[in-house]
Amino acid sequence: MTGRRTESGGLIDRGTTLRFRFDGRAYTGHPGDTLASALLANGVRVLGRSFKYHRPRGVWGAWFDDPNAIFDVALEGNEIPNCPATTTPLVEGMEARVVNAWPSARRDVKGGLDLLHRWLGAGFYYKTFIWPDWHLFEPSIRRMAGLGALDGKEIPDYVADQIHDACDLLVVGGGAAGLAAARAAAEAGQDVVLVEDHPELGGGLYRSGESVEGKARAEWVTEQGATIAKNGGRILTGTTAFGVYDHGLVGLATERGFARAPRLTRMRARRVVMATGALDRPMTFADNDRPGVMSLQAAAEYLTRYGVLVGRRIAVLSNNSAGEAAIEALRAAGAEVTEADPGAGPIRALGGKRLSGVRMGEKRLECDTLLVSSGLTPVVHLWRHAGGKLDWSDEKSAFVPGAAPQGMMAIGAANGTFDLEPALAEARAAALGKPAAPTGNSYSIRPLWPEPGTKGRQWIDFQHDVTLKDVELAARENYISVEHLKRYTTLGMAGDQGKTSNMAGLAAMAAIQGKPIPEVGTTTFRPPFVPVPLELYHGARRGQLLNPLKRLVLEPQHRQAGAALGEYGGWLRPGWYGPKPADQAVRDEVLMARKTAGIFDGSPLGKIEVMGPDAEAFVNFIYYNTIATLQPGHIRYGFMLTESGAIYDDGVIARLGPERFVISCSSAHVDGVEAMLESWRQDGNDPDRLFVHDATQHWATVTVTGPKAREIVGALGLPLDLTRAAFPHMTLRESDFAGSPLRVARVSFTGDVSFELSLRATKAADLWTALIDAGAQHDAGPIGIEALSVLRAEKGFIVVGKDTDGETMPQDLGFGIPRLKKKSAFVGDRGLHTEAANDPNRRQLVGLTAPEGSPTLPTGAHLVTGDRPRSEGIITSSYFSPTLDRPIALALLERGAARQGETVTVWHMGQVRTATVAPPCALDPEGGRLDA
């Protein structure tokens, strides 16, 4: 036991005791602790195992820079894998388990792997496991790898809160510089947001000295915070700026407690001031990964923030001046601190799980804790996310922010300004968008970088077990670019994403190549700054609210009628009605529609109005078919094509007047068609003579189809002559129902007499009820979309996207005339005359009949030819036709139109059967029913 809780000091609440367990043993801590600080206070030293060699590890850092102590943590039945011990606030009842070690961090059965280290160096797996087969080795390697274990359970109500926000100035980091900047900006009237990832403000201030501008640290911090708030500034603690994205957007993640999903704030900031501080760099020497070797700054942080003294006999190895305050504080807290010269000869940490001392050259120093610092590295991740450049500073032996990204400034330690006074001056200037006057710098550092060729195992990346020798090996094998180095050795790819390892790796490679560090390069930092739960990106857009369906105004009526509802083209629609099994219900509905009538909710069909003096020419251009000749009151079926000639949509267009058309595109394409019409309207047309209004959702449409349709619609008593002569097929009449305008269209998707009645949605229930009541007199009733699919397939009517694919052109469906005859330009015209469009072997729409007594052909089956079967077509729709009492199918088949009567081979999942090519229309090919 080396670490202990101090009698006083720190931000923790000693008055309250929290109980928790780690690797099965019970411990206590206090509010304000992290799991790491509480364990250190309990004298626990081994808090983790390394990824590859399972070396015992203590903590290196005190916050997001610790690569070692990672736990699976459970609380009240909710477990979260891979929690960094140094950033997980302690909660009463927590059960923490070390990851990737068993039974405990202290006694890990895989600890013996370290003995094999000489064969498990960088990239060893690229050089072996080739024979006999990688698949033989992979499963066990996978089991060895990985850190935390997923318990397979969902956390209840684990929903990220997601908001948008905006501010004039976002200050990232609530240390001295950030506080000063935020205060100055708030006092200047700016809308300021200050974010700090710790639960409390103050940042690195607690560890850096006794007073600030003549005030005690805590008092100064409180005063800044209060003044910011008083001036309208907002302070978000427990909040990490995890990424900077384009156009000033900063992603903020706010902690909301263990097993609660964080809040995502998409913060749009006019300006960002980065006050993210600096990190202590590890020192590269033999066995520098021993538990008890720790960052000097972190030790100060444990002491001043958490009231934990990490050791009794402490040796300090530091090459810079930044740790003076820390050393003072540790001494004041009662530790015996010996400062040693890191340049005095090769260094080696001594001891195993318990550090016993350090050897420097010939000299040996007894200690239980070795605190090291090889310099400060500004935290510049956000700067790099935003595309900012870095400059190498020889004076500070570090990369510091160089050319700034737009709208961003760096201040304080993040900017390499390690002294407090200049940092505050810089902060106050930055608050007003100004650079600070250059000032002196008291920070001194003696460069101390990894020395290639030296002895011992010297860790560069602690979690991933990358040592100096691995870097040397990479260099020897010519993996010398920084990215190759990273990828070959996995240096910097661990959970801390290189926060502790990148600089040492870079410096080692520089030394090997005999180049200055900046010539070797920097690495790219990618968001997120720290790992964030995937849920952060998820939020309320889940379940029914992910791509929510459109709802019919008649849904209550359908539900009441016992409709089975399903998703069809983005709408929730009745598939069939009633309690019968689906197949039977659909069959009965088809038979009813053919015998009497079916009443169908067709509301999702598009109703896009095209109006204006140029409307006629415009729709004539948009459609494949000639529309210019369409007379008012008439309707025409047609296709819209893509410019490459493929069918995009089919449907009918009605002409309401000389300068007014209504396009009834398919339900799923309304938004797409409307946008397409608008594009063409504004591109190549005169938008002042042409207007497109989408009125689809104003209307509800009820279709009555079947031999009794005329009687049923007649029962409404509309002021309309429904006789065949007065109201022929493919015409439209405007009428009135209960005082509201009613459009009645004679179009048919079933081959039977049909009336399509459209009324404003809020009145549709009355229309529906009236039709259902009238229908009941004729044994007619509602039909769902499944029955309609069968009805239309019996007639050989296609559904675009189902019976066509991305290559199908109108001529493949038997609509070849406009392609050859239409004189004026139309969308897709040129695409209809490419070599492929003229190919005699194009796939064409056909019907198929199955041999007597055989089951329905499978949709998705292919039609094949040859001994080594080659696909020459596909079955696109297939049903059992209750009307014909036999299976029917539609298919696309090479040269199909000319192959009527031919027997073809149907191939499905390796099984073959036969079918006969037939016309697509299987029912009433003469069309007698349509005008019955």
Partner 1 sequence: MRDDSRKWDAPPDDSQPLTGMGMTVARVWPTRQLLISAPDVLARMPGAGWPDVVTGAPYTLCLRRDRVLEVDGPAREEGWDGVQAVTDVSDAYAVFRIEGPQALALCRRGTEVSLARPSRSVARQMFGLSAFLYPWENEERFCLHVPRAHAQALWQMLAAHMGQMQRSA
Partner 2 sequence: MQLFPCPFCGPRDEREFHFAAEAGKTRPDTTGAVSEADWAAYLYDRRNDKGRVREVWMHLPCREVFVMERDSVSMEVLGTTAFRKAGA
Partner 3 sequence: MSKRYSALTLLREGLRGHRGWAPAWHMPDPKPRYDVIVIGGGGHGLATAYYLAKNHGVTNVAVLEKGWLGGGNTGRNTTVIRSNYYYPASTALYDLSVRLYETLSRELNFNIMFSQRGMLVLAHSEPEMEMAARQVNAMQLNGTDAELLNADQVRKRAPLLNFAPDARYPIHGATWQGRAGTARHDAVAWGLARGADQLGVDIIQNCEVTDVITEAGRAVGVATTRGEVRADRIGAAVAGHSSVLAKLAGYTLPIQSYALQAFVSEPLKPVIDTVAFSPAYGTYFSQSDKGGLVIGGGLDRIPSYGQRGNLPVQEDVLGGLIEMAPMLAKVKLLRHWAGIVDVTPDSSPIIGPSEVEGLYVNCGWGTGGFKAIPAGGYLFAHLLATGAHHEISRPFDKARFAGGHLIDEGAASGIAH
- Name the residues that contact partner 2, by CB under 8 A: 245-249, 266, 268, 387, 406, 643-644, 675, 678-679, 682-684, 687, 823-826, 829-831, 834-835
Contact partner at residue 215 from partner 2, partner 1, partner 3, none, CB < 5 to 8 Å by partner kind: none
Q: Are 360 and 350 in contact (CB under 8 A)?
A: no
Environment class of residue 886 by beta-carbon count within 10 Å: exposed (0-12), middle (13-18) or buried (19+)? middle
Which of partner 1, partner 2, partner 3, none does residue 119 bind (CB under 5 to 8 Å by kind)?
partner 3
Nearer to partner 1, 105 or 564 (CB): 564
| Cα separation, 714 vs 734, whole angstroms | 15
Question: By C-alpha distance, which of 695, 682, 694 is closest to 614?
Answer: 682
Nearer to partner 2, 117 or 822 (CB): 822
C-alpha to C-alpha distance for 326 and 236, rounded to whole angstroms: 28
Judge whether 600 and 782 are in contact, CB under 8 Å. yes
Are 757 and 702 in contact by the 8 Å Cβ rule? The answer is yes
Q: Which is nearer to partner 3, 116 or 738 (CB)?
A: 116
Min. distance of Cβ 279 from partner 3 in angstroms?
Answer: 18
When the beta carbons of 7 and 835 are compared against partner 2, the nearer one is 835
Could you say which of partner 2, partner 1, partner 3, none residue 761 binds, taking C-beta under 5 to 8 angstroms by partner kind? partner 1
Query: Taking the complex as a whole, how short is the minimal distance between the CB of residue 911 and partner 3, in angstroms?
Result: 10
Question: What is the nearest approach in angstroms of partner 3 to the Cβ of residue 149?
Answer: 4
Residue 615 Cβ, how far from partner 3 at the closest point, in Å? 31
Decide whether 19 or 802 has the Cβ nearer to partner 3: 802
* 576 binding partner (options partner 2, partner 3, partner 1, none; Cβ < 5 to 8 Å by kind): partner 1
The tokens 């956390």 sit on which residue? 155
Please identify, using beta-carbon distances, which residue of 209 and 578 lies nearer to partner 1. 578
Q: If contact means CB under 5 to 8 A according to the sort of partner, which of partner 1, partner 3, partner 2, none does residue 684 touch?
A: partner 2
Q: What's the closest the beta carbon of residue 771 comes to partner 1, in angstroms?
A: 19
Order of strands, sheet of 660-664, starting from the edge strand that comes earlier in the sequence: 635-641, 647-657, 660-664, 608-611, 691-694
Residues 275 and 414 sit within 8 Å (Cβ to Cβ) = yes
Q: How far is the CB of 58 from partner 3 (least distance, A)?
A: 21
Please answer whether residues 466 and 301 qualify as being in contact, where contact means their C-beta atoms are separated by less than 8 angstroms: no
Q: Tell me whether residue 648 or residue 826 sits nearer to partner 2 (CB atom).
A: 826
Q: Tell me how far, at minimum, the Cβ of 244 lies from partner 1, in Å.
A: 16
> Around Cβ 11, how many Cβ atoms within 10 Å?
18
CB of 369 or CB of 881, closer to partner 1: 881
Contacted by 807, from partner 2, partner 1, partner 3, none: CB < 5 to 8 Å by type: partner 3
Token pair 């938008």 in the structure block, residue: 687
List helix spans (H) across 552-614.
Answer: 555-560, 582-595
Nearer to partner 1, 243 or 495 (CB): 243
**CB-nearer residue toward partner 1: 583 or 721:** 583
Which among partner 3, partner 1, partner 2, none contacts residue 693 (Cβ within 5 to 8 A by kind)? Answer: partner 1
Q: Closest distance between partner 3 and the C-beta of residue 508, in Å?
A: 15
Write the single-letter amino acid at 598. G
Q: Where are the beta strands (DSSP E) in 183-333?
A: 192-196, 211-212, 215-216, 234-237, 239-245, 249-254, 263-274, 278-280, 293-295, 308-309, 313-318
* 126, interface contact from partner 3, partner 2, partner 1, none, CB < 5-8 Å by kind: partner 3
Q: Cβ closer to partner 1: 456 or 633?
A: 633
Shortest CB 794 distance to partner 1, Å: 18
Q: Answer with the entry of partner 2, partner 3, partner 1, none that 860 interacts with (C-beta below 5 to 8 A by kind).
A: partner 3
Q: What distance separates the 2 farthest-apart alpha carbons in the chain?
A: 114
Which of partner 1, partner 2, partner 3, none has residue 565 at its interface (CB below 5 to 8 Å by kind)?
partner 1
Q: With respect to partner 2, which residue has the nearer C-beta, 313 or 822?
A: 822
Quick check: helix, strand or coil at residue 256?
coil
Nearest to 780 by CA among 928, 626, 590: 590
Min separation Cβ 553 and partner 1, Å? 7
Per partner kind, with CB cut-offs from 5 to 8 A, the member of partner 1, partner 2, partner 3, none near residue 495 is: partner 3
DSSP secondary structure letters along 551-563: E-TTHHHHHHTTE
**What does 577 bind: partner 1, partner 3, partner 2, none (CB cut-off 5 to 8 Å by kind)?**
none
| 265 versus 881: smaller Cβ distance to partner 3 | 265
- For 174, 271, 388, the CA distances from 525, given in Å and listed in that order, are 22, 21, 11
Q: Are 891 and 874 in contact (CB under 8 A)?
A: yes
Please state the closest distance from residue 166 (CB atom) to partner 2, in A: 11
174 binds, among partner 3, partner 1, partner 2, none (CB under 5 to 8 A by kind): none
Cis peptide before 132 (omega within 30 of 0): yes
DSSP 450: -
Pairing of strands 870-881, 886-894: antiparallel
Give the number of other CB atoms < 10 A from CB of residue 538. Answer: 16
Q: Per DSSP, which regions of 352-404 are E strands?
A: 355-360, 363-366, 369-373, 376-378, 390-393, 398-401
Pick the closer one to partner 1 by CB: 319 or 789.
Answer: 789
Residue pair 88/454 in contact by the 8 Å Cβ criterion: no
Residue 261 Cβ vs partner 3, minimum distance, rounded to whole Å: 7
Residues 673, 665 contacting (CB under 8 angstroms): yes
β-sheet bridge partners, residue 907:
862, 912
The distance of closest approach from Cβ of residue 645 to partner 1 in the complex, given in angstroms and rounded to an integer, is 31
Task: Report the alpha-carbon distance of residue 630 to residue 37 in Å, rounded.
Answer: 81
* Count, residues in the chain: 932
Type of residue numbered 374: S
- Measure the CA dihedral 424/429/434/435, to 10°: -30
Closest by CA position to 416, among listed 276, 544, 520: 276
- Tokens for 310, please give them: 């990490």
Closest CB to partner 3 among 170 and 372? Answer: 170
In the complex with partner 1, the residue whose CB is nearer, 325 or 761, is 761
Which C-beta is closer to partner 3: that of 246 or that of 362? Answer: 246
At 293, give phi and psi (nearest 5°). -90, 120
829 binds, among partner 2, partner 1, partner 3, none (CB under 5 to 8 A by kind): partner 2
CA gap 357, 351 in Å, rounded: 7
Rounded Cα gap, residues 166 and 284, in angstroms:
43
Cβ 536 to partner 3 shortest distance, Å: 8
Q: How far is the CB of 828 from partner 1 (least distance, A)?
A: 27
User: Which amino acid appears at position 811 of this protein?
Assistant: Q
Q: Report the partner that residue 821 touches, choosing among partner 3, partner 1, partner 2, none (CB closer than 5 to 8 A by kind).
A: none
Note the residues at the interface with partner 1 (CB under 8 A): 159, 161-166, 256, 263, 266, 268, 540-541, 544-545, 547-553, 555-556, 559, 563-567, 571-572, 575-576, 582-583, 586, 604, 609, 611-613, 615, 656-657, 659-660, 687-688, 691, 693-699, 741, 760-762, 786
CB 9 within 8 A of CB 333: yes
Q: Residue 738 Cβ, how far from partner 1 at the closest point, in Å?
A: 14
639 binds, among partner 3, partner 2, partner 1, none (CB under 5 to 8 A by kind): none
Cβ of residue 786: shortest distance to partner 1, in angstroms? 6
Which distant-in-sequence residues (6+ apart) come within 8 Å of 662 by Cβ? 607, 608, 609, 610, 653, 654, 656
Q: Which does 825 bind (CB under 5 to 8 A by kind): partner 3, partner 2, partner 1, none?
A: partner 2
